Structure 1
Amino acid sequence: MDILKVSNSVQKDDAYHVRRVVFVDEQKVPEELEIDEFDDTAIHLVGYEGEQPVAASRLRFVEGYGKLERICVTKEQRGRSYGKKIIKAMEEVIREHGYSKAKLNAQTHAEEFYESIGYLTVSGEFLDAGIPHVTMTKSLS
């Protein structure tokens, strides 16, 4: 999988397409919650298998953290370590911007996955778009 930092409208549309397929179609998140006011200023990443967009994420900088958001991989491509690859790419962008801490709100079913790549749970469970989440952080230094 090739991961690109979105630099044009086609790549951004591809990232949004993956997010809609995973979050809106598959997980039934209302589109008005999925595509929000932070998308215009966030850094977006998109992963391609050949010409096909198969992974996406966005990154913002909030309260001293690089905040990983909207991380998703299409159902057909899961189990190929694409999630780890896009997170590594996001962590590199965080470092490039001079930050040394990462934060994310993980769906609870993915908590063990994030723990396996160094994230620690720092909150109790809460609902986001009706889905149970926890906040997790990682030192990148």
Structure 2
Amino acid sequence: MSELAILPVPCFSLLCNAAFALRREVFVWEQKVPEAEEHDEYDLSATHFVAISEGEVVGTLRLIDLPEHTKIGRVAVRQLFRGRGIAHKLIAAAMAHARQRGQDRFYLTAQSDKLGFYESLGFVAFGPEFQDGGMPHRAMRDYDRESAHLVD
């Protein structure tokens, strides 16, 4: 694999549009998330990140600044590039970027079968399992870990 470049990109730039296409590929085509649910109002205000390898966008995510925390979302890696640590590097870079701006509380909703991956990044699941995009998810955060309890 060629060197991985990770950078924030403006909404609707060529690189961000490539990220949106990757999200469609992963979420709508692969995972069968209803297309109407894939984009939302947060896309316009989020900070979007891309991972570039071999001259193409192979990973993406977005950060949403909320009053109580920064939400990490829409994490996607092109199928042929999975298993190479791209998502881990992408999340770490995005969190470092947010920390440079004074944000240090992170939240996400993870597909239930991906909890172990996010736990390896310091997140802990809490609350009940819920459906999002037709798949079971859990809320996760990297702060107030001791008060996080699962509800079933």
Tell me the number of residue pairs that the alignment of Structure 1 and Structure 2 aligns: 139
Q: Structure 2 residue aligned with 1:24, among 14, 25, 28?
A: 28
Work out whether 1:90 is the aligned partner of 2:94.
yes
Question: What root-mean-square deviation, in Å, do the aligned CA atoms of Structure 1 and Structure 2 show?
Answer: 1.1
CA deviations over 1:74-105 (Å, ceiling 9, x no partner): 11111000010010011112212211110000
Q: Which has the larger radius of gyration?
A: 2
Unmatched tracts of structure 2, length 5 or more: 144-152
Corresponding residue SS for 2:127: coil
CA distance in 1, matches of 2:93, 2:46: 15
Residue 93 of structure 1 aligns to a residue whose secondary structure is helix
* 1:38-85 superposed Cα distances (whole Å, 9 cap, x missing partner): 101110001111211110101101232110000011111110000100
Query: What percent identity do the matched residue pairs reach?
Result: 37
Question: What amino acid sits opposite 1:34 in the alignment?
Answer: E
* 2:9 maps to amino acid: V
* Aligned equivalent of 2:43: 39
| Displacement over 6 Å in runs of 4+ | none
Q: TM-score, normalised by structure 2?
A: 0.87
How far off is 1:30 after superposition?
A: 1.5
3-state SS of paired residue (1:39): helix
- Work out the CA distance in 2 between the residues paired with 1:76 and 1:9: 24
TM-score, L = length of structure 1: 0.94
